[in-house]
Amino acid sequence: MKKYVQHLQSTEDNIKEFVNNDTRNIRTDFNTPNFSCKIIPSKILYDDSFNDFKHQLTKGAIAFLYHISHNRLIDTVTYDANNFAYDFVEDRFNEGQFDGAKLHWLVNDIKISGLGYPPQGYMQREGFVCHPGTFRFLAAFAQQLNVDVSVWDTYNKFDNEALSCEDWLMFCSNGFIRNTRNITVKQDDVDDINKELNHKFLEVHETRNHHDHNIFNQDIALAQMYNNIKPIIFCKNIKIQKQVEQHIHKPGFFEIKVIQNPWFIPHLMSFKGVGLWIGQEDLVHNDISFLFLYLDINDDIAYLKNYDLKIFNNSTHNCKKLIPEIIDESKEEYLNEFKWASKTSMIPAVMGDTL
C-alpha cells in the first residue's frame, strides 16, 4: 500500500504545493487508469444497490442492539494524547458495537447539517462500493439525502466531467466541521479478492481528529436510552405479531407483545427503554430492525408518516406525560399529531415503503 502524504494540513495552498511537487507521483498514478474519478450525486448510486445498502443498515442496528446490555466501549480504550488517538485493547474491544454506535450517531447527526465531508468509493458491476466514508454514505442513504460523492468510474458508466488530481483532493478535503483538517492520501488496502479489478484506488483519509469521542459518547447514551435492554415491539393484533416474527433477523431477538393502544407503551414499560408500535396489517414483509436507527437520543418519538408505526423513547420528559389518565382524557389530535412532544423524527417514506 503506497502512501503519498501523511497528516497534511489540507489548506488550498498545501494541496497545490503537494500536487505540483509530485515527489511520489500522485498525479501520474491518479491519471494512469483508463477510467477517471468523478463527482456523482448519491441518489444515482442508491438505485443500483438499494437492497444491499438497506441490509447494511439492518446489520448496524442489530449490532448496537445486540450489545446494548454489554460494557460500554469507552471502558475498552485509553486516550493517547501524543498521537491524538485512542488505543484499543483488542481482546476487549468489540468492533460490531463500535460500528453500530457509529452508524446510529451519523444517521441522526446528518439530519440537521448534512454530511461533514464527502464519501469516496469506486464502481463495481453491481453498484457502488464506498470507502472511505462508508458510514457517512450509509447515513445519507438512510435519510435519503442527495449528496455529492467522489467515485472512481471503473466502467465509464457516467458522463460527468472527470476530476483533475488537484480538484479531487480539494473536493475530498472540503468539509464544514473542523477548523483544521489533516489528511493522509494513500492507495486502498482492500484485499484484491474483494475487487473485480486488480487496481489500487487512491483515497483521502482524515487523521488526527476526535471523531471517535462522538461514537463512544453515542454508545453510552444508547445504553441509557434503551435502559440496557433491547426494545419491545408492540403489535395491534396477533396477525401483525406473526408477520413481524416471521421476518425478524433472529427468532427471539426481540420481545414482541400484543396491545390495543400505542399510547400506553411508555407507561407499560415504566417510562424506561424503547418501544416500537405497529398497528397496521400487511405492512411488514422484511426485517424491521433498521428502524431503530431513526430514534435519536433526544427524540420523544420517531414515526413513519401515513403508516401506523411509531417508536417511543419512553424515558423522555414528554413521554412521561403519557400516563393513562392523560391518554384517556386527550383528543386524538393531541396524541396523533404529537402535540405532547417537542422532538420528533420522521422516517423517510422511501425507507418505509420497503417494509
> Per residue in 141-152, pLDDT tens?
999 999 999 999
The structural domains of the chain, ordered by start, are 3-218 (no CATH), 228-352 (3.90.550.10)
Average of per-residue pLDDT values in the chain:
93
- Alpha-carbon distance 192 to 181, whole Å? 30
Q: Can you tell me whether residue 228 is helix, strand or coil?
A: coil
Q: Can you tell me whether residue 130 is helix, strand or coil?
A: strand
Residue 179 confidence (pLDDT): 77
At 10, the pLDDT band (50, 70, 90 cuts) reads: confident
Q: Which residues contact 188 (CB under 8 A, 6 or more apart)?
A: 1, 131, 200, 201, 202, 203
Residue 92 confidence (pLDDT): 61
Residue 251 confidence (pLDDT): 76
The total number of residues shown for the chain amounts to 355
pLDDT tens, 320-332?
999 999 999 999 9
pTM for the structure as a whole: 0.94
Residue 91 confidence (pLDDT): 60
Q: Is the pLDDT confidence value at 130 over 80? A: yes
Residue 141 confidence (pLDDT): 98
At 85, the pLDDT band (50, 70, 90 cuts) reads: confident
28 versus 251: which is more confidently predicted? 28
At 81, the pLDDT band (50, 70, 90 cuts) reads: confident
- Residue pair 153/38 in contact (Cβ under 8 Å)? The answer is yes
What single-letter amino acid sits at 336? Answer: N
pLDDT tens, 281-318?
999 999 999 999 999 999 999 999 999 999 999 999 99
307 closest CA partner among 287, 329, 291: 291
Residue 210 confidence (pLDDT): 80
